[in-house]
Amino acid sequence: MTSKLPTIILNALNTKGELTLNELYEIIGEHSEFTWELSVRKHRVRSVLDYLKRQNKVERSSPGTYKLA
């Protein structure tokens, strides 16, 4: 289930260019396959963002805001 999460985040960033953490939380919340509580959803999103940063696929443009690298 979590293997789709990086793809969804990358697609959202590709579409909108730059997103805040709150926007990413909302986007993930709209997907019915991710039925986590808000605290779990936030942790998973931040974890995937960290993974994508380590892979040099995304970068932090300002506090709480991310864009494609």
- What pLDDT does residue 31 have? 84
Beta strand 58-62 with 65-68 is: antiparallel
**CB-neighbour burial class of residue 19 (10 A; exposed 0-12, middle 13-18, buried 19+):** buried
Domains, the chain, ordered by start: 4-68 (1.10.10.10)
- What pLDDT does residue 59 have? 95
Residue stretches of the chain with pLDDT short of 70: 1-2
